Amino acid sequence: MIKVYQTIVDPGKGNCMQAVVASLFEKDIQEIPNFINFGTQWWPEIYNYYNCNGYNGIGCLDPKGRIELTKRALEFDGGVNGFWAAFVPSQTFKDSSHAVIIDKDLNIVHDPNPNQKALLLGPEDITKIDIVHPGWYIDGDVLVIGPND
For 59-89, write each residue's pLDDT tens digit.
888 999 889 999 999 998 999 999 999 999 9
CA distance 18 to 147: 30
- Would the pLDDT of 147 be above 70? no
CA distance 63 to 43: 19
- Would the pLDDT of 139 be above 90? no
Distance of CA 14 to the CA centre of its chain: 15
- As a residue count, the chain comes to 149
Compute the average pLDDT of residues 52-64: 88
For 105-126, write each residue's pLDDT tens digit.
999 999 999 999 999 999 999 9
- Would the pLDDT of 36 be above 80? yes
* Contact assessment for residue 129 and residue 63, using Cβ atoms and an 8 Å cutoff: yes
Instruction: Provide the pLDDT for residue 128.
Output: 95
Instruction: Provide the pLDDT for residue 148.
Output: 56
CA distance 78 to 104: 8
Measured CA distances, 20 to 29, 55, 136 (Å): 9, 16, 24
Instruction: Provide the pLDDT for residue 97.
Output: 93
Compute the average pLDDT of residues 11-29: 95
- In percent, the amount of the chain with pLDDT more than 70 equals 97
When the pLDDT of each residue in the chain is averaged and rounded to a whole number, the result is: 91
